[in-house]
Amino acid sequence: MITPRFYEILFERYPQARPLFGGNSSKKQQEMLQQALVSVLEHLEDASWLSSTLGALGAKHVDYGVTREMYDWVGDSLLATLAETLGDDWTANVKDQWSTAYGVIRDLMLAGVPQATATATATA
């Protein structure tokens, strides 16, 4: 399982991210990330699911205090984790594919931010 190492790398490189995860145990957080990654991989051919699910997830992350910059931290940490885990199998082609895939995930999640902002404004 790569998720424990992902969080080690994230917190080593970006210690300022650690407080965002205070509400969940590390094991629970690791399980949630693993489930999210598996779900995305299972729905790669379902653009509608990806758009709606990742948009909603991005909207939810606004409530956690996640900023645009933090998505880059996650992407950097995810790619580093995959590179470390895959070793010699981490080729330039694999890196490019994962970089592109994470960019799409990030963009779909960020597309949900205006929805969260509008909801917060409407309920204020």
Q: Which domains does the chain have, with CATH numbers?
A: 3-19+47-123 (1.10.490.10)
- pLDDT tops 70 at residue 101: yes
pLDDT above 90 for 69: yes
- CA 13 to each of CA 19, 30, 32, 80: distance values in angstroms, whole numbers, following the listed order: 14, 17, 21, 10
Predicted confidence band of residue 124 (pLDDT cuts 50, 70, 90): low
Q: For position 114, what pLDDT does the model report?
A: 85
Q: Is residue 105 within 8 Å of 121, Cβ to Cβ?
A: no
Checking if the pLDDT of 118 tops 80, the result is: no
Q: Which tokens is 94 given?
A: 């694999």
